Each structure stands twice: as structure tokens, then as C-alpha cells.
Amino acid sequence: MPVPMLRTLVTGGAGFLGSNLTLKLLSEGRQVTVLDDLCTGFASNIPEGVRFIQADVCEPLVGEYDEIYHLACAASPDKYQAEPLQTLRTNFIGTSNVLELARRCGASVLFTSTSEVYGDPRVCPQVESYWGNVNSFGPRSCYDEGKRVSESLCYTYSERYQVRIRIARIFNTYGPRMAPDDGRVVSNFVVQALQGKSLTVYGDGSQTRSLCYVDDLIRGLVCLMHAQGANLEAPVNLGNPHEMSVKEIAEKVLELSASRSQIAYRPLPQDDPTRRCPDIQRARGWLGWEPEVSVEKGLAATIDYFRGQLT
Ligand SMILES: NC(=O)c1ccc[n+]([C@@H]2O[C@H](COP(=O)([O-])OP(=O)(O)OC[C@H]3O[C@@H](n4cnc5c(N)ncnc54)[C@H](O)[C@@H]3O)[C@@H](O)[C@H]2O)c1
């Protein structure tokens, strides 16, 4: 019996994670459509063989799909804070549209939520049952609260309309295909190191981040979409529990890129989280997933990628 080809929609498929995911789905023989308005993504990221719809996810959506990976939303603080109302709209209206489309055509939806739903956490590592410490009235709230309301929409469509949903709470992920100017910690450090500029560390650099290599994360997303069993509508943390201070990350980038750049300290932005580390027991138990790529290997591959981009 031939296996039926799944019709897959990737919203935000021209971005960093979306384009890596699209490549993975194509390699598995999926028929992929990318919907993206290119606000932070690039048409050049979309591989051949993919149907591309250039559109805002806030516009009504049509089509017939079996699976929808819903990634559309600017992820870098610089970008989502530049257009805060659009960030809120993308999360509320865009996620509503995706879930409505899924309800009509019977598709499964995987929503890419974020560790930012935990805000500046009082619990470390962050476990899914922790409800977070989020400031609803500040510059990051358009994203943090936007993602929280998106999770609530997923819950409601699952309860009310039995839409099959999956929620990945993604922790800092990095790797090839990140935009060099998107202002995230790894891309900033690598680009600065390769250009011989000082690496900008905010605060004293003691705040922590846990870095997940993109291949690990994408494997986790696909695994979560297809996992069967009870309770799988509940959010699942996907990230690397190896916690490092921002200063350590900067030093590792300098070492691996053999750069002579210095570290420059700048004031900490408002509401910058001090601790970030996922508890991944749920992902381990429910999906049999855990990260495999070491930070040395992942950073080295990322440095190679940016070296190619910058020359
Ligand atoms: N990369 C990470 O570390 C990380 C961490 C947590 C959560 N996430 C989530 O994963 C998803 C993808 O993140 P990324 O790192 O690839 O970001 P990205 O900015 O590289 O990609 C987002 C993509 O969505 C598109 N987009 C944004 N708003 C849209 C809209 N209204 N309509 C259509 N397209 C739109 C952009 O053009 C871009 O191609 C986001 O939802 C983000 O919140 C990422």
C-alpha cells in the first residue's frame, strides 16, 4: 500500500526555524506549502519544490492541509518590539486564523510557543507546570503575552472543537540560517567576533541562557507533531538544559572563532530574564527526545555558516 503524502503548511517558513523545518520535511518526502509575509524571513530561504504563499497570517486563510506547523511570528526582541501591535495581532488573530483553518480541514496544528511564557522565572529549571512571572505592561509583553494568549487559543480549540494541537515551548535555539542582523545572542556574538568588533554583553553577563542547536530542535518539533498518546495537547519544553552564562557563551564564541575581539558590557534591557533553563523531563518521557549536539559542535557549525555568509 503506498503511504499517502501529507499536505503540510508551515507558517513562518521563510524564517530561521521555519526554513530548517521545511528542509527536514522535504527530505522526508512531504508536500510543503510555506506561508510567510517576509517581515523577518527571506524568500531566498525557501527551498525549491515548495509552494510559497506570500501573505500575512492575520488575513483569512484557505486551503486543505493535514498538518500545520504554525511558526509565523518575529522571534528576535529587536524585531518584535519594533512592531508591537503587529506582534500582538500575529499571535491573536494569526493563531485564531490557523486554528480556524485547521478546524475546517481537520488538520493537526503544532504551535511554536516560547520559554518567554515563563517571563523572569522564580523557578529554575522551568517546568511546564510553572505558570511563570510575566510583566504584562512592558516592552516584551507584546511577545510574551501574545504567546500566552496563543496557547490559550490552542487549548480552547482543542477543548471546544477537538482540533488536534501540539504546543512546543521553545528555548533559545541557534544555528545556520539565522539572520545575521536579528539581534539574538548567538548571531550577535558570532557576527561581531567574525567582524573583529567587540561582543556586546548586556549587564554583567551572569544571566544564563541554554542553547539548543537547530537540528535537535527541528527533530523535536517533528517528533512532537507525530507523537500519539494521552495529554499530548499540553505544552512541552524543547531546549537544551545545559545552562551557560551569557559571558561564558561570548568567551566560547571567541575561542571557537579564534577571534581577537573584546567583550563590551552595556546596561541590561528592561525585563531581560535572568535565568533560562528548561526542564525537559516531559519531552524525554513523552517523546523520547533530548538534544544530542554539544554547544562546541553547534557553535562551530554556526560560525562556519556565518563565515560563508559574511565573505
Ligand atoms: N529561535 C528561537 O530561539 C525561538 C525560541 C522560542 C520560540 N520561537 C518561535 O519559533 C517561531 C520561529 O522563530 P524564528 O527564530 O524562526 O523567527 P524568524 O523571525 O526567523 O521567523 C519568523 C517567520 O515568521 C514570518 N512572520 C512573522 N509574522 C508573520 C505574519 N503575521 N504573517 C506571516 N508570516 C509572518 C517572518 O517573516 C519569518 O519568516 C516563532 O514563532 C518564535 O516565536 C523561536
pLDDT in tens, 20-56: 999 999 999 999 999 999 999 999 999 998 999 999 9
Residue with cell 506570500: 54
Task: Give Cα separations from 112 to 3, 237, 257, 259, 265 (angstroms).
Answer: 27, 10, 31, 34, 32
Q: What average pLDDT does the segment 77-98 reach? A: 97
Q: Tens digit of pLDDT for each residue in 242-278?
A: 999 999 999 999 999 999 999 999 998 887 778 889 9
* Atom number, ligand 1, closest to the C-alpha of residue 86: 31
Instruction: Please report the pLDDT score of residue 2 as a whole number.
Output: 60
- High-pLDDT (> 70) share of the chain, %: 99
pLDDT for the residue 274: 84
Q: Which residues belong to the active site?
A: 143
Confidence check: pLDDT of 4 > 80 = no
Q: Is residue 6 within 6 Å of ligand 1 at its C-beta?
A: no
Task: Give me the count of residues in the chain.
Answer: 311
DSSP 199: E
Q: Is residue 217 within 6 Å of ligand 1 at its C-beta?
A: no
Average pLDDT over residues 224-247: 96
Mean per-residue pLDDT over the chain, rounded = 96
| Helix, strand, or coil (residue 132) | coil
Distance 178 CA to ligand 1 centre (A): 11
The ranges assigned to domains in the chain are 7-177+212-241+278-292
What CATH number should be reported for the domain whose range is 7-177+212-241+278-292? 3.40.50.720
- What the block records as the C-alpha cell of 3 is 503511504
Residue 212 alpha carbon, nearest atom of ligand 1: 3
Q: Is the pLDDT of residue 199 over 70?
A: yes
**DSSP secondary-structure letter at 169?**
E
Share of the chain above pLDDT 90, in %: 92
Contact 8 CB / ligand 1 (< 6 Å): no
> Is 25 a pocket residue for ligand 1 (Cβ < 6 Å)?
no
Q: What is the DSSP letter of 15?
A: S
